[in-house]
Structure 1
Amino acid sequence: MVITHLYILIVLLSVLGAVTAVNFDQCIAEVQSGKWGTVGGTDNYGNPVSNISNATSITYELCTRACGPGAEPFVWNIFSQQFSAWLLPYLALVAQLPFGATDKLDNLVAVLLSVGSPTLAAYSLALTVLNGHWLARRFSRFAYPNVRSAVQVLSRLQQAPVRITTRGSLLASLVVLPENNQWWTELVDWLDYTHTFTISSIASILWVTIAFLFTVINSFTGTIVEETLNANGQGVGSVYLWLLPIVIGWLQLGPKCDSGRLHRAIDRANAEAYVASNRGPVPADEVSTDRAITLSKNTGRVHRDEQASPPVYNYARFLPWVQSVEEVYRVFDEASERAERHVSVDPQVPWVPEEKGPGKVRAENRRGTLAQVEAYVHRARPVSRSHWGPGVFSRFFVSSLVALGLTWATTGAAVIVVWFTPTRGLGCRSGAYLLYGVLSTLVWMLLVTSSALAHYSTQVTYKADGQAVYTRTTRIAGALSIALRRLGKVVATCNALWIVLACIFQFSSFFDRCYCNSSVLGLGRFAYDVIQLVDADISTMKAAWIGGVALAGGSSILFVGFVNIFINPPLPPA
């Protein structure tokens, strides 16, 4: 369907170009001959020339009068060469982004969010690796059984809507009772699958990398051809370069984003869970259908994005995931602290010396009645907890800084490349890239704000009978969250379509018209159209191209380096 629409668009552009086509070479020749008068000729810096025959550029007013408002004709050879060299490899690389949702719409929206907002895609990836590193360091001080498994489970569930249930000693039993050792071990094994490098992903990455390097080298070492100058894909190669480090980062991280597999793993593990009772540990199935760690389903419109498993939605799961981690952390904290003081769960049972090794606690020390297990992890002096979680603002700040840096380095590189291609200044091409970066940032702002409002809306108070009460403020926050989320997705969809369309316009010569070539957006009434290049133009242009490639490539390498610094943090001892 997409290929069909693309083909129809190309045919329309070619037909339209044939009807309204202009010839700038013929136009400048007529201007130099004096056919259109002696006023309006300039040099390549916009300065008027005394002799019209020496003009290599013309003012925008003269351009529209002498050449017409149309574009140069569509040339299939130029379009196919530039499209296949610069844009097609990136479109193929999009397929290597991790998805995994059972709802095909969620996977489609994940593509639109990633392409429509590189800022959001980079933010979710940076946030994921920082969360994993923070989690491992936070639990590293505990010396209690299954701490290592808890870190692995919680880290791998960042792509899932985790919910923690503490009532009825469910979580306390999961951490304290030795019968639940198997629950932790088997869940780690069932979640031990990866979305990582395959032959197809490696081939796609190599295709993009080699195509980018070859075309860049060719553009620097080859002869600058004026006919293909404005259809050159240097800017396109830079504006899409963010996709390469994002795909490499996710493949290295190997996110667990297969929604069906995640739910099956949790369900299988929970079938083997035990809970404490007054007659000792019993299978959880004998008590109720509740479990300590579950994945929520259909929790309402406010939390819609939390249910979608593609990793680009991790921005929406950030704050709820941190709260879930804190619930588990609190239980391990209390249990580990009492174990260090050699306090058994059952006060009547003397402490049995543990085996040698970190986190080794004998099973005899970990059994007790329902009340004893609850008391074992009960904090004597309640500590007030933030609704947002520890360290969330620092991780948000770092992730935002990294994401914005990658977005604006690649987008800025594309703007620089086109900006310094005569006529220098802000025109249709550079304006298209600039708009793409602005909308990408706007989408990120809308959706991150939406996720914060959604989390805020979960604050409730309870009546004496246990009924939850939502305040007017939380209800407004929830409604505003939905509105911002939907607006952000609409803008992302438009931005994704826009950047693809802008690249097609550039390759098809649609932008090769007086208005765009004269950089009217930036120069205003001083706009002029450079038609014939001089040596100074070529040297300046190549220097800008080198700077743009260095900026885009350097930022991509730095982003991959950032991911590799925080990925795979050291885990607590087994």
Structure 2
Amino acid sequence: MLTLRLFAALVLAYFLFPIASATTNYTQCFLDIQSGLYGQLGEDGARDNQGNPVPLANVTAISYDLCKAACGKSPTPFSWQLFSGRFSSWLLPWLALLSQLPFGAQYRMDNLMSVFLAVGSPALAAYSLVLTVLNRHWIARIFADIHYPNAQDIKRVLGCLQQAPLRVDERDGMLASMLVLQENDAWWETLSTELDYTNTWTISVAAQVAWVIIAFLFTVIVSFSDAATGSAVFGASGQSVGAGFMWLLPIVIGWLVVSPKSDFDRFKKALNSGRTQVYHAQPGQYGDPYPPAPVNAQEQTDARALGLAAYKDDSPRRDEAVSAPIYNYARFMQWTATVEYTASLLRTAGDKARDHRPVNPFSPSGWADRPDNKNDSVAPENRRGSLEQVEQYVCTNQESSRARYGRARRVDPGFTARFLIATVLAMFLQWGTVGGAIIAHWAAPPVGLGCRSGAYIVYAAAGTVSWVLLVVSSILSFYSSNATELECPRSSRRAMILAGRMATLLRRLGKLLAACNAVWIVLSCILLFTSFYDRCWCNSSVLGRGRNAYAILIPQDKDVNQVKTTWIACMLHYALLILRRRRLT
């Protein structure tokens, strides 16, 4: 811990000491150049605001070489008053809004990492949010045609457990008993009620979101006033910070609207609260018209068909166990396969019930109608049978247990469509918002790639790479899980083990990159307020213009209008972006 603090202090000292000791004065530089103090170099380096050579008497901009010679390489002096005002107005509200992201993980470090993941990779935050929304629509659609007495309760339970490391246990017919037996309906109903809670708007949340919106509106107003005075042309204003963090607003509002269930402790409590209501079917003899009655599961085992998985830190599926919603990227394929498999078993049972086929085909009374003669309900007598009969009731004709289990490893055909939609919207949100900050600095005279726009490009690119690493890791993790859960040829098993190791490596690299990227963007914004970028190299856009780089000393009306036009376009773009995001959620 001491080493980490010392490292942080050295980094701050490295960046801030040159700022505190800077003596660059652009006003004095301009006067010295105009007076002819630099002779031929001054005449060769005199430019107008479009970069064209002009006589020394008409100079309003200077070449990069002249700027280094006349003004030096240091930034302008640091002003604590300007820094504190800009930091509290432009960056602090966005950092405070991070506290409204949904958490709920079992360990605090996982909650902290979820913040680093969101800031370091906005694409990942948007990807997980869009997947959550699309999965809700998908699960409602696939359960719409399932007609079994407990189908709706099961749908709500599985939907609420989208943020949980869901584990389904089929040993000894536990899952089939949970789905078929009438005695387990009370457990599904209790679990559905306890999990169906809502995290919605509160006064504090609304006030914080309003604070950020108002602060950004003031930022927009200040940007136009800065343009009128020319300071925005120099890059002194930090209004691009609001543009760079604009992705956070639709993410926070989207999660508040979706209201994900992500409290791990609540998951455990809900799953344990109804343990006494769980019943298991018992083995019987073939052809017995009176199979043994189901017994309470606690009399046989502590295991349950539905539970929470736990994974070690070096496990490829470790992130599935973190209930913070941003980790839905890791659970997407596994949760989809689990829901699809459970729904397929329940659909088979529903189809047989619709055809008036009882669980026990040797029942003396055959299919029993309900006393009220409702055709959309199933009498309890029709849902009783031995363990073998219950397992067969959720299988299609002639389906073996291995073939049935093979269905548990497949995702639904609509998986690819949801993945592509989430990917496109995630990229659109990240590059659409951060892109506004890039364009705002890129289009400010002198037009071109500079320090400020370059910092945002690095941020957006690193966030995208981090998202790619983590998504690929989740795919490899799902593939590798077959190595321990299915009997495979030795060659396939080796490939799955290798995929698991690659998944672990990519997951760690992706999270490390996201954490570093989060530190990078916050530090870049802080340096923007400290005048660190207000130096010849940055003000001349050397990165983009190369040998043609020049720095503007006196903004003209054309420059001011260009900055205003850029910001108007950015604001219209953000308004359209938020409206589209709101329509999705």
Match of 1:283 among 293, 296, 315: 296
Once the two structures are superposed, residues 209-267 of structure 1 have per-residue CA deviations (whole angstroms, 9 ceiling, x without a partner) of 11111221343356633456513122111110000110111111111111111112112
Once the two structures are superposed, residues 63-118 of structure 1 have per-residue CA deviations (whole angstroms, 9 ceiling, x without a partner) of 11110000011112222222122111100000110111121111111110000000
Asked whether 1:350 is paired with 2:366, we answer: yes
Matched AA of 1:264 = K
Identify if the C-alpha distance between structure 1 residues 359 and 432 changes in structure 2 by more than 3 Å, giving closer, same or farther: farther
Matched AA of 1:507 = F
Identify if the C-alpha distance between structure 1 residues 76 and 11 changes in structure 2 by more than 3 Å, giving closer, same or farther: farther
Identify if the C-alpha distance between structure 1 residues 381 and 533 changes in structure 2 by more than 3 Å, giving closer, same or farther: farther
Aligned equivalents of 1:215, 1:510: Cα separation in 2? 20
Asked whether 1:216 is paired with 2:220, we answer: yes
- Per the alignment, residue 26 of structure 1 pairs with 28
Q: CA contact under 8 A between 2:22 and 2:78: conserved in structure 1?
A: no
- Per the alignment, residue 288 of structure 2 pairs with none
Instruction: Tell me whether 496-505 or 260-269 shows the greater mean CA deviation.
Output: 260-269
Asked whether 1:402 is paired with 2:415, we answer: no
- Per the alignment, residue 329 of structure 2 pairs with 315
Aligned equivalents of 1:106, 1:131: Cα separation in 2? 23
Asked whether 1:361 is paired with 2:365, we answer: no
- Per the alignment, residue 270 of structure 2 pairs with 265
Once the two structures are superposed, residues 162-198 of structure 1 have per-residue CA deviations (whole angstroms, 9 ceiling, x without a partner) of 0112232211111111111111110011112233222
Asked whether 1:370 is paired with 2:387, we answer: yes
Q: CA contact under 8 A between 2:170 and 2:176: conserved in structure 1?
A: yes
- 1:411 shift after superposition: 0.9
Once the two structures are superposed, residues 324-356 of structure 1 have per-residue CA deviations (whole angstroms, 9 ceiling, x without a partner) of 112211221111101110111122232223456
Task: Specify the SS of the correspondent of 2:274.
Answer: helix
Aligned equivalents of 1:12, 1:479: Cα separation in 2? 38
Asked whether 1:247 is paired with 2:252, we answer: yes
Match of 2:90 among 71, 77, 86: 86
Q: Structure 1: where are the runs of 5+ without partners? A: 564-574
Match of 2:552 among 495, 518, 530: 530
- Per the alignment, residue 127 of structure 2 pairs with 123
Identify if the C-alpha distance between structure 1 residues 262 and 183 changes in structure 2 by more than 3 Å, giving closer, same or farther: same
Identify if the C-alpha distance between structure 1 residues 77 and 11 changes in structure 2 by more than 3 Å, giving closer, same or farther: farther
Asked whether 1:379 is paired with 2:396, we answer: yes
Aligned equivalents of 1:22, 1:284: Cα separation in 2? 78
Matched AA of 1:402 = L
Task: Specify the SS of the correspondent of 1:64.
Answer: helix
Q: Structure 2: where are the runs of 5+ without partners? A: 285-291
Q: CA contact under 8 A between 1:121 and 1:312: conserved in structure 2?
A: yes
Task: Specify the SS of the correspondent of 2:167.
Answer: strand
Q: CA contact under 8 A between 1:460 and 1:468: conserved in structure 2?
A: no
Aligned equivalents of 2:485, 2:219: Cα separation in 1? 64
- Per the alignment, residue 479 of structure 2 pairs with 456
TM-score (norm 2): 0.91
Instruction: Tell me whether 535-544 or 214-223 shows the greater mean CA deviation.
Output: 214-223
Aligned equivalents of 1:411, 1:39: Cα separation in 2? 38
Aligned equivalents of 2:207, 2:14: Cα separation in 1? 33
Identify if the C-alpha distance between structure 1 residues 83 and 165 changes in structure 2 by more than 3 Å, giving closer, same or farther: same
Q: CA contact under 8 A between 1:17 and 1:74: conserved in structure 2?
A: yes
Aligned equivalents of 2:85, 2:501: Cα separation in 1? 48
Identify if the C-alpha distance between structure 1 residues 359 and 515 changes in structure 2 by more than 3 Å, giving closer, same or farther: farther
Asked whether 1:421 is paired with 2:428, we answer: no
Matched AA of 1:434 = I
Task: Specify the SS of the correspondent of 2:277.
Answer: coil
Q: CA contact under 8 A between 1:230 and 1:509: conserved in structure 2?
A: no
Once the two structures are superposed, residues 11-37 of structure 1 have per-residue CA deviations (whole angstroms, 9 ceiling, x without a partner) of 876653232231111111211221112
Once the two structures are superposed, residues 283-307 of structure 1 have per-residue CA deviations (whole angstroms, 9 ceiling, x without a partner) of 1112222211111113552111011
TM-score (norm 1): 0.93
- Per the alignment, residue 572 of structure 1 pairs with none
Q: CA contact under 8 A between 1:144 and 1:358: conserved in structure 2?
A: no
Q: CA contact under 8 A between 1:446 and 1:485: conserved in structure 2?
A: yes
Identify if the C-alpha distance between structure 1 residues 518 and 462 changes in structure 2 by more than 3 Å, giving closer, same or farther: closer
- Per the alignment, residue 293 of structure 1 pairs with 306
Q: CA contact under 8 A between 2:341 and 2:408: conserved in structure 1?
A: no
Once the two structures are superposed, residues 516-548 of structure 1 have per-residue CA deviations (whole angstroms, 9 ceiling, x without a partner) of 000011001111111210000000110001112
Matched AA of 1:486 = R
Aligned equivalents of 1:7, 1:252: Cα separation in 2? 41
- Per the alignment, residue 569 of structure 1 pairs with none
Match of 2:65 among 56, 61, 64: 61
Task: Specify the SS of the correspondent of 2:368.
Answer: coil
Q: CA contact under 8 A between 1:119 and 1:404: conserved in structure 2?
A: yes
Identify if the C-alpha distance between structure 1 residues 404 and 467 changes in structure 2 by more than 3 Å, giving closer, same or farther: closer
Identify if the C-alpha distance between structure 1 residues 359 and 437 changes in structure 2 by more than 3 Å, giving closer, same or farther: farther
Instruction: Tell me whether 216-225 or 56-65 shows the greater mean CA deviation.
Output: 216-225
- Per the alignment, residue 287 of structure 2 pairs with none
- 1:554 shift after superposition: 2.1
Match of 1:521 among 543, 548, 562: 543
Match of 1:203 among 199, 203, 207: 207
Asked whether 1:556 is paired with 2:571, we answer: no
Aligned equivalents of 1:346, 1:309: Cα separation in 2? 40
Q: CA contact under 8 A between 2:168 and 2:307: conserved in structure 1?
A: yes
Identify if the C-alpha distance between structure 1 residues 108 and 356 changes in structure 2 by more than 3 Å, giving closer, same or farther: farther
Spell out the pairing of 1:9-20 with structure 2 (5 A cutoff). 15-20=17-22
- 1:5 shift after superposition: 10
Task: Specify the SS of the correspondent of 2:76.
Answer: coil
Instruction: Tell me whether 119-128 or 466-475 shows the greater mean CA deviation.
Output: 466-475
Instruction: Tell me whether 113-122 or 53-62 shows the greater mean CA deviation.
Output: 53-62
Task: Specify the SS of the correspondent of 1:20.
Answer: coil
Match of 1:235 among 225, 233, 240: 240
- 1:379 shift after superposition: 1.5
Identity %: 44
Identify if the C-alpha distance between structure 1 residues 7 and 243 changes in structure 2 by more than 3 Å, giving closer, same or farther: farther
- Per the alignment, residue 539 of structure 1 pairs with 561
Task: Specify the SS of the correspondent of 1:460.
Answer: helix
Instruction: Tell me whether 273-282 or 316-325 shows the greater mean CA deviation.
Output: 273-282
- Per the alignment, residue 317 of structure 2 pairs with 303
Q: CA contact under 8 A between 1:143 and 1:358: conserved in structure 2?
A: no
- Per the alignment, residue 568 of structure 1 pairs with none
- Per the alignment, residue 466 of structure 2 pairs with 443
- 1:491 shift after superposition: 0.6
Task: Specify the SS of the correspondent of 1:423.
Answer: coil
Q: CA contact under 8 A between 1:68 and 1:514: conserved in structure 2?
A: yes
Identify if the C-alpha distance between structure 1 residues 505 and 385 changes in structure 2 by more than 3 Å, giving closer, same or farther: same
Match of 2:159 among 147, 155, 160: 155
- Per the alignment, residue 534 of structure 2 pairs with 512
Task: Specify the SS of the correspondent of 2:228.
Answer: coil
Aligned equivalents of 1:381, 1:22: Cα separation in 2? 84
Q: CA contact under 8 A between 1:241 and 1:556: conserved in structure 2?
A: no
Q: CA contact under 8 A between 1:406 and 1:556: conserved in structure 2?
A: no
Identify if the C-alpha distance between structure 1 residues 548 and 15 changes in structure 2 by more than 3 Å, giving closer, same or farther: same
Q: CA contact under 8 A between 1:423 and 1:529: conserved in structure 2?
A: yes
Aligned equivalents of 1:378, 1:209: Cα separation in 2? 55
Aligned equivalents of 2:375, 2:250: Cα separation in 1? 38
Once the two structures are superposed, residues 111-137 of structure 1 have per-residue CA deviations (whole angstroms, 9 ceiling, x without a partner) of 100000000000000001101110110
Q: CA contact under 8 A between 1:13 and 1:74: conserved in structure 2?
A: no
Spell out the pairing of 1:44-59 with structure 2 (5 A cutoff). 44-49=49-54, 51-59=55-63
